[in-house]
Amino acid sequence: MSTSDLASARGRGDAPGPFVTPFEIRDYALLLKWLILAGVAVAAFVAVWQFGLLGEMLRSDKSYISLAITLLFVGTSVHCATGVVTVSRELNAARRVQRLIQKNPTNFKVMDDKVVIGDGTQLLPGIMTDHIRNLIVKARGLESRVDQSLLMRTFADGLRGRLQVGWFISDSMFKLGLLGTLIGFIFMLSPINAIKTFDPLTMKAAMSTMSSGMAVALYTTLAGLVGGLILKLEYYFLEIGTTELHTITAETTDVYVIPALRESK
Pick the more confident residue, 20 or 147.
Answer: 147
CA-to-CA distance for 92 and 184, rounded, in angstroms?
49
Averaged pLDDT, 249-265: 83
The predicted structure's pLDDT at residue 231: 92
Contact, 14 vs 95, CB < 8 A? no
Q: Is 7 within a domain? A: no
The pTM for the full model equals: 0.77
The predicted structure's pLDDT at residue 168: 92
Look up the domain containing 42 and give its range: 20-263
Could you give the percent of the chain with pLDDT greater than 70?
A: 80
Q: Is 5 within a domain? A: no
Q: Is 90 within a domain? A: yes
Averaged pLDDT, 106-120: 83
Q: Is 148 within a domain? A: yes
Instruction: Write out pLDDT tens, residues 23-69.
Output: 555 667 888 888 888 889 889 888 888 888 788 887 877 888 888 99
Q: Is 11 within a domain? A: no
Instruction: Write out pLDDT tens, residues 62-75.
Output: 888 888 998 999 99
Contact, 222 vs 54, CB < 8 A? no
Q: Where are the alpha helices (DSSP H) in 61-148?
A: 65-103, 127-139
The predicted structure's pLDDT at residue 11: 43
Total domains in the chain come to 1
Q: Is 63 within a domain? A: yes
Q: Is 1 within a domain? A: no
